[in-house]
Amino acid sequence: MHRVQRIPKTEKGGRIHTSTASVAILKEVPEKEVVINPQDIKTDTFRSSGPGGQNVNKVETAIRITHLPSGIVVTSQTQRSQAQNRERAMAILRAKLAEIEREKALGQITSERKAQIGTGERVEKIRTYNFPQDRITDHRIGKSWQRIEKIMDGNLEPIIEALTKNLKKPI
């Protein structure tokens, strides 16, 4: 959490105002097509139930596809041909697997975000920008820098050097 301490120009009493912000940097999750390996599925055929006349009683047009890695079972018996039912069952299976992937990705993004921004409690502060004292303090390494305006204008080398040096310290 980043904390900013300043005295706004509109503040008549000279009181310091404190604001906080949490920042999270997440990688983009690319859209990917669900590809099902033929060795990962088991296909069973059976006779459809319900209306359909003689075709239902004589021909095994219904399809049951089991995705072995996930255990998902999908059936289709609404079409007249086995090929059409297979196509429909595969489409349903792909949709279910895509949904699982989206949920997994969302869970990973959520955990990455929580790891980066924490709970937002005051004890989790990373850096304080104190404008009245012209000082920036990084609480993770316990170091402060003066000339806040210069740093805010992009002169980040002193901060980057200190953080890099701190990373190289043995634990």
Q: What confidence tens digit (pLDDT) does each residue in 62-97 have? A: 899 999 999 999 998 888 788 899 988 888 888 888
- Indicate the pLDDT class of residue 121, thresholds 50, 70 and 90: low
Q: 98 and 129, same structural domain?
A: no
Q: For position 59, which CATH number holds?
A: 3.30.160.20
Q: 103 and 44, same structural domain?
A: yes
Structural domain boundaries, residue 11:
2-22+119-167
The order of strands in the sheet holding 72-76 is 41-46, 62-67, 72-76
Residues 123, 129, 133, 138: is their CA dihedral positive or negative? Answer: positive
Q: 111 and 50, same structural domain?
A: yes
- Looking at residue 29, its pLDDT comes to 41
Residue pair 24/120 in contact (Cβ under 8 Å)? The answer is no
Q: 124 and 56, same structural domain?
A: no
Whether the per-residue pLDDT at 119 is higher than 70: the answer is no
Q: How many domains does the chain have?
A: 2
pLDDT in tens, 15-70: 999 888 877 665 544 446 677 888 999 999 887 766 655 555 567 788 999 999 99
Distance CA 28, CA 171 (A): 32
- Indicate the pLDDT class of residue 144, thresholds 50, 70 and 90: very high
Chain center to CA of 54: 51
Q: 46 and 6, same structural domain?
A: no
Closest CA relative to residue 163, chosen from 130, 141, 133: 141
Q: 113 and 49, same structural domain?
A: yes
* Assigned domain for 75 exists: yes
Q: 61 and 51, same structural domain?
A: yes
Q: For position 147, which CATH number holds?
A: 3.30.70.1660
Residue pair 59/47 in contact (Cβ under 8 Å)? The answer is yes
Q: 50 and 98, same structural domain?
A: yes
Closest CA relative to residue 40, chosen from 68, 65, 63: 68
pTM score = 0.47
